[in-house]
Amino acid sequence: MSSFEPLVFSGVQPTGNLTLGNYLGAIRKFVALQDTHNCIYCVVDLHALTINPSPQDLIDGRRAIAAAFLASGIDPVKHIVFNQAAVFQHSELAWVFNCIARMGWLNRMTQFKEKAGKDRENASVGLFAYPNLMAADILVYRATHVPVGDDQKQHLELTRDIAQKFNWDYRERTKALDLGVPMEIGDETIDGYFPITEPLIEGPATRIMSLRDGTKKMSKSDPSDLSRINLTDTADDIAKKIRKAKTDPEPLPGDTSGFQGRPEAENLVNIYAALSETSNDAVLQEFGGQQFSVFKPALAELAVEKLAPIADEMRRLMADPGHIDAVLATGGERASALAEKTMVDVRRLVGLTV
């Protein structure tokens, strides 16, 4: 192989409601990339175990994410849609990476610090090692591109560090077995086994903020449901949440320099720009100088127009869980075949097989 085939991989956790942040920051990009790349999209149910969901919540959550993928327009025939637990090779490679990644690297992960809170001694080992499993999700397919929101940036840097260290540590055997691709590390060219994955984090929607606090990320786990728009919210819910969204008394600025110190205004304009697939500048050209009493109803109308068809299709799909399970099972078989190819090589490279 002289270079890595372009391949997109991404995942979403089946925990809680999917939000507008997940949709605009990730899923909508997944849909767009289907036209130009081979794509693998995963419901990461093993990751969800880190927050100890009830078994039924995990089962329902897995189906809901799969339904959201399909309802948003992901094609499970041309591409691959599956759940992580169906492909044991993710866990196997994660163990290899547990032995590659250093404690110091994981200690720096801000998401772990946020999620573990003050009582770190009591956090699960799974939550700490989570980024290693994430690296395995991506690299078990030797994926080259990963569309995500801004909050996953640090995890993707770690994925690159793990790939680099693996490539360096096993460079001689990779060359001897002729399994690598020439790549530069420092001023040396080696045969590396894993690609150095590129994150795809761009556009106005990489970080959608809470509707109640423009300095906090919109999140599935925020205790206040008013802080987020869920993909399954009704038109009335969406309108109510936007009406109640925190703002300030000033009209919208004429250009983006006027967002200084106005995170809530910036967030609502970002959302409008992302939903209408234009830029913040274009939105401000239309609404600059207007009051929120004008802008909010326009935003609510746009959000309902874009999200209601997805919510309707999700409900239709969720009414037939057998169909969703069958789609995931087929995707799991296809993903397993690809992952096993990588693991045959990895077992040889590290010496677990000859």
Q: Catalytic residue positions?
A: 115, 217, 220
Q: Does residue 139 bind ligand TYM (CB under 6 A)?
A: no
Per-residue contact flags (x/-) with ligand TYM for residues 256 to 295, judged by CB under 6 A: ----------------------------------------
Reduced to 3 states, what is the DSSP secondary structure of residue 192?
A: strand
Binding mask 150-189 for ligand TYM (x = CB under 6 A): -xx--x----------------------------------
Q: Which of 25, 53, 192, 331 binds ligand TYM (CB under 6 A)?
A: 25
Does position 204 bind ligand TYM by CB under 6 A?
A: no
The neighbour count for residue 165, using CB atoms within 10 Å, is 17
For the chain, give the longest Cα–Cα distance.
70
Q: Distance of alpha carbon 27 from its chain centroid, rounded?
A: 8
Name the 3-class secondary structure at 80.
strand
- Is 134 a binding residue for ligand TYM by CB under 6 A? The answer is yes
> Count residues contacting ligand TYM (CB under 6 A)?
26
Query: Which of 37, 63, 171, 217 is the binder for ligand TYM (CB under 6 A)?
Result: 217
Residue 146 CA neighbour count, 13 Å, CB half:
30
Beta-sheet strands, E only, within the chain: 7-12, 38-43, 80-83, 145-147, 181-185, 188-192, 198-200
Q: Which of residues 7, 8, 16, 22 is near ligand TYM by CB under 6 A? A: 22
Interface with ligand TYM, residue 44, by CB under 6 A: yes
Q: Which residues of 26-58 are buried (b: 16+ CB within 10 A; e: fewer)?
A: bbbbbbebbeebbbbbbbbbbbbbbbebeeeeb
C-alpha–C-alpha distance, residues 122 and 116, integer Å: 8
Q: Which is nearer to ligand TYM, 17 or 330 (CB)?
A: 17
Asked if 302 and 286 count as a contact pair (C-beta separation under 8 A), the reply is no
Nearer Cβ to ligand TYM (44/317): 44
Nearest residue to the partner ligand TYM, using Cβ:
25
The owner of tokens 């990489």 is: 206
Task: Return the number of the residue (19 or 174) whose C-beta is nearest ligand TYM.
Answer: 19
**Which listed range, 204-212, 262-270, 290-298, 335-343, lies at the site for ligand TYM (CB under 6 A)?**
204-212
Cα–Cα nearest to 88, from 352, 345, 262, 340: 340
What residues contact 135, with CB distance under 8 A and at least 6 apart? 94, 97, 101, 155, 158, 159, 162, 163
* 53 lies in the site for ligand TYM, by CB under 6 A: no
Supply the minimum distance, in Å, between the C-beta of residue 341 and ligand TYM.
19
301 is a contact residue toward ligand TYM (CB under 6 A): no
Instruction: List residues binding ligand TYM (CB under 6 A).
Output: 9-13, 21-22, 25-26, 44, 47, 134, 137-138, 146, 148-149, 151-152, 155, 205-208, 217-218
